[in-house]
């Protein structure tokens, strides 16, 4: 059986931790490097429900997209949410490895998969890999495109900014929208597909006539689980499970 350190090293080769944003926290976040791993639970988020699921499955490792430790912590107690998660992981001897922004921008990572899911035949990586640019097969009204996005991602609700026809698309998973991307979309006459848009950027997009389709964060990143399952199957003889309890918080 591989050790936690061996799995971490293999994942680092596939999606270099050095490619993560400076603010990010990736790699082995909880666990002992020499711990042998037989079963892995894959999830976007580490929650109490996911930890209990991992324990019930006898999983030694949770491989997550979003880091269980993200902001600075000064103590590990059950007085706060992160502390309670870490205590539960330690008590159950379950390790955590996280691949976040390094996976978003990586080869066959979240942004690549989002473009393909939205129907891209060919796409161009832009914004240092944190977005893709592609053309739809045919021009369509943004309302029809929004319904297409909703169906492709299995999302229950999407929101739009702007009106009219769309042909060129900029896709950025997660909270991927900022001023540079909005200005690029205006220059390219492209609709942006992303999630978690801050109010000031929504106002800016509307003011500049940039069309946007906003999805839920989860819907644009669920491809992480299948990709990780495939990589682990190719590199290690492990039992892997995709979490059934880490679901879209919006239903």
Mean pLDDT by 10 residues, the chain (251 residues): 97 97 97 97 98 98 98 94 98 98 96 96 94 97 98 95 97 88 97 96 98 96 95 93 94 74
pLDDT number for residue 174: 85
**Residues sharing a CB contact under 8 Å with residue 37, sequence separation 6 or more, in sequence order:** 1, 2, 3, 4, 7, 60, 61, 95, 236, 238
Outline which parts of the chain fall under CATH 3.40.1390.30. 4-100, 106-215
Q: Taking a C-beta distance cutoff of 8 angstroms, is the pair 46, 65 a contact?
A: no
Residue recorded with tokens 């080769």: 13
Return the SS3 of 82. helix
pLDDT number for residue 62: 99
β-pair partners for 141: 165
Q: What CATH fold (topology level) applies to the domain 4-100? A: 3.40.1390
For the whole model, what pTM was predicted?
0.94
Which of 198, 199, 181 shows the shortest CA–CA distance to 190? 181
Strand 124-126 with 131-141, pairing: antiparallel
Q: Which two tokens stand for residue 50?
A: 């996911």
CATH 3.40.1390.30 describes domain 106-215? yes
Strands (DSSP E) along the chain, which ranges? 27-30, 39-43, 61-64, 95-98, 124-126, 131-141, 159-161, 165-171, 190-195, 212-215, 239-242
Q: Is the Cα torsion angle 17, 66, 119, 199 positive or negative in sign?
A: negative
CA distances (Å), 94 to each of 59, 90, 197, 212, in order?
A: 7, 6, 34, 40
């Amino acid at each position: 059986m591989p050790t936690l350190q061996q799995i971490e090293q293999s994942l680092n080769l596939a999606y270099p931790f050095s490619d993560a944003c400076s603010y990010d926290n990736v790699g082995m976040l909880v666990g002992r490097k020499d711990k042998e791993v037989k079963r892995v639970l894959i999830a976007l988020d580490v929650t109490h429900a996911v930890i209990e699921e991992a324990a019930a499955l006898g999983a030694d490792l949770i491989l997550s997209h979003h880091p269980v430790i993200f902001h600075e912590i000064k103590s590990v107690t059950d007085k706060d949410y992160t502390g309670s998660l870490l205590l539960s992981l330690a008590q159950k001897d379950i390790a955590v490895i996280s691949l976040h922004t390094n996976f978003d921008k990586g080869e066959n990572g979240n942004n690549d998969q989002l473009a393909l899911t939205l129907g891209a035949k060919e796409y161009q990586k832009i914004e240092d890999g944190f977005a893709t640019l592609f053309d739809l097969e045919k021009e369509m009204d943004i309302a029809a495109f929004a319904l297409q996005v909703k169906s492709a991602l299995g999302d229950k609700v999407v929101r739009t900014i702007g009106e009219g026809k769309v042909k060129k698309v900029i896709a950025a998973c997660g909270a991927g929208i900022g001023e540079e991307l909005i200005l690029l979309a205006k220059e390219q006459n492209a609709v942006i597909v992303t999630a978690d848009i801050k109010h000031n950027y929504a106002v800016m997009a509307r003011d500049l006539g940039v069309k946007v389709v906003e999805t839920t964060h989860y819907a644009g990143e669920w491809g992480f689980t299948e990709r990780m399952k495939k990589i682990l199957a190719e590199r290690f003889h492990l039992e892997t499970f995709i979490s059934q309890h880490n679901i879209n918080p919006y239903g």
